[in-house]
Amino acid sequence: MINYEINNFNFFMPVEIVFGRDCVIKNKNKFGKYKKIFIVSGKSSAKISGALSDMLEIFNETKADFYIFDKITENPLLSVCYEGGREAKLFGADLIVGIGGGSPMDAAKAAAMFAANPRMNPEDLFEPELYKNPPPDFFAIPTTSGTGSEANPYSVITLDGQDLKKTFNYAGVYAKTAFLDPKYTIALPHNITVGTALDALCHCIESRLSVKSTPVSEIYANSGIRLIYRNLKKLIDLKVGDNIDYSIREELMLGSFYGGVAINTTGTGFPHPMGYNLTLINGLPHGFACALFIGEFLELHKNIIKPETLGSFGDNLDNIKNTVKILIDYYSDFNEKFSDETLRFYSSRIKTAKNFTNSIIGITGEEEIFKIYKKCVGV
Ligand code: NAP
Ligand code: FE
């Protein structure tokens, strides 16, 4: 399935990636030139993952001054990112480090923009043409294997009091370096491991079937699907409390990174905006919320997915859909079904999202969105 002009595409990936056990400490020289380091994190993950203590060991040596802004919650709020930016400016940060899942990494990108542009209003974050100054350098240290935020310039921020997510996308906020150490995900409980891996799987599938897919993004998307899917199948056989092998952690972290590179070129498809309502209004974590719609996304494309593409997915569509469903049912505890009225409301809130036309089978109009909602989560 080739849906692009093979001679006509761009591939841009300016992030330096260092991968592997202890990669932060082994690459401590990369921190050497910074003297005022502003860390953006959630309440606990930077600590329990071990990432923060690795950083502190380095600062102890380099004598860098550091500040820990640990107020980022899941689905980070614009007001908190703004506050972080102001603190970073006051501190005089020359490096911003985002440690955590997608929420702290995305929030760190926003805080970096606010730190560099202190006169900017919070809502101006979504208007890159208003930015006057480039942000300080930014390092990303993921502690989940899901969003791929370390490999792209996207930052998904929640508008205060509106239950709405908005994305800003600005080439200046790519991480200068991303440190991918699978050991930071060892403390992730099974449900977050599975939910975040489902997010990464969605990125790869949505990218692979995007109208913007290219020969290069396709390589990342296909490899990501294979890596993540085969490990999700292993996770099905584990019980809560069983140890998750380090090799699974490694492959999920690599697969999540591949997904981040893939959507860097293509963006995401409709499972993402459809999931946002369920995350913000119903509290379902991001990965599970997107995955609720990936089965229908695959179903809509099934007649145009050629056998060789499927071969690269590593299984047939029904098995992939089944695996995803089993994992959502078991690990998310989510079995809500919604009335037509609620689903019409949900459809109207996301009808202008660009994601709906960003797949080979494009979805146009509120009625089509409503039908997909009804099929997947309707009463
Ligand atoms: P998250 O919201 O960053 O974190 C979820 C939970 O996992 C938090 O409670 C967090 O604790 C905990 N956690 C993180 N790492 C841990 C560890 N190693 N051990 C134990 N607990 C840990 O989850 P996420 O799924 O990675 O990120 C979701 C966000 O990313 C959403 O806002 C979504 O919209 C966005 N997103 C961005 C992109 C992109 O390309 N930029 C793509 C997809 C999604 P703490 O609160 O202590 O951190
Ligand atoms: Fe996502």
Cβ–ligand 1 distance for 182 under 6 Å, the answer no
Handedness of CA 111, 115, 117, 118 (dihedral sign): positive
pLDDT of residue 7: 67
Q: How far apart are CA 27 and CA 117, in angstroms?
A: 30
Measured by CA distance, the residue closest to atom 3 of ligand 1 is 101
Where does residue 148 fall: left (phi above 0), alpha (psi -120 to 50 degrees), or beta otherwise? left
Q: Are strands 154-159 and 164-169 parallel, antiparallel or unpaired?
A: antiparallel
- 3-state SS, the chain, equals CCCCCCCCCCCCCCCEEEECCCHHHHCHHHHCCCCEEEEECCCCHHHHCCHHHHHHHHHHHHCCEEEEECCCCCCCEHHHHHHHHHHHHHHCCCEEEEEECHHHHHHHHHHHHHHHCCCCCHHHHHCHHHCCCCCCEEEEEECCCCCCHHHCCEEEEEECCCCEEEEEECHHHCCCEEEECHHHHCCCCHHHHHHHHHHHHHHHHHHHCCCCCCHHHHHHHHHHHHHHHHHHHHHHCCCCCCCCCHHHHHHHHHHHHHHHHHHHHHCCCCHHHHHHHHHHHHCCCHHHHHHCCHHHHHHHHCCCCCHHHHHHHCCCHHHHHHHHHHHHHHHHCCCCCECHHHHHHHHHHHCCCHHHHCCCCCCCCHHHHHHHHHHHHEC
Q: How big is the CA angle at 147 (ends 294 and 336), to the nearest 5 degrees?
A: 45
Q: How far apart are CA 155 and CA 166, in angstroms?
A: 8
Q: Are 287 and 199 in contact (CB under 8 A)?
A: yes
Q: Are 361 and 300 in contact (CB under 8 A)?
A: yes
pLDDT of residue 241: 84
Measured by CA distance, the residue closest to atom 2 of ligand 1 is 74
Q: How far apart are CA 67 and CA 69, in angstroms?
A: 6
Q: How big is the CA angle at 15 (ends 12 and 16), to the nearest 5 degrees?
A: 130
Distance 193 CA to ligand 1 centre (A): 10
Measured by CA distance, the residue closest to atom 19 of ligand 1 is 188
Distance 366 CA to ligand 2 centre (A): 22
Cβ–ligand 1 distance for 268 under 6 Å, the answer no
Q: Go through 293-309 and write b for each residue having 16 or more CB atoms within 10 A of its CB, e for each that does not.
A: bbbbbbebbeeebeeeb
Distance 261 CA to ligand 1 centre (A): 18
Cβ–ligand 1 distance for 156 under 6 Å, the answer yes
Q: How far apart are CA 196 and CA 248, in angstroms?
A: 13
Ligand 1 atom at minimal distance to the Cα of residue 157: 32
Measured by CA distance, the residue closest to atom 27 of ligand 1 is 102
Q: Go through 121-155 and write b for each residue having 16 or more CB atoms within 10 A of its CB, e for each that does not.
A: ebebbbeeeebeeebbbbbbbbbbbbbbbbbbbbb
| Token reading at 289 | 């919320």
Cβ–ligand 1 distance for 148 under 6 Å, the answer yes
Cβ–ligand 1 distance for 228 under 6 Å, the answer no
Measured by CA distance, the residue closest to atom 45 of ligand 1 is 42
pLDDT of residue 97: 98
Cβ–ligand 1 distance for 279 under 6 Å, the answer no
Ordered mean pLDDT values, 10 residues apiece, the chain (379 residues): 66 97 98 98 98 97 97 98 98 98 98 97 96 97 98 98 95 98 97 98 96 94 96 92 96 98 98 98 98 97 81 85 96 95 98 95 95 98
- Stated length of the chain: 379
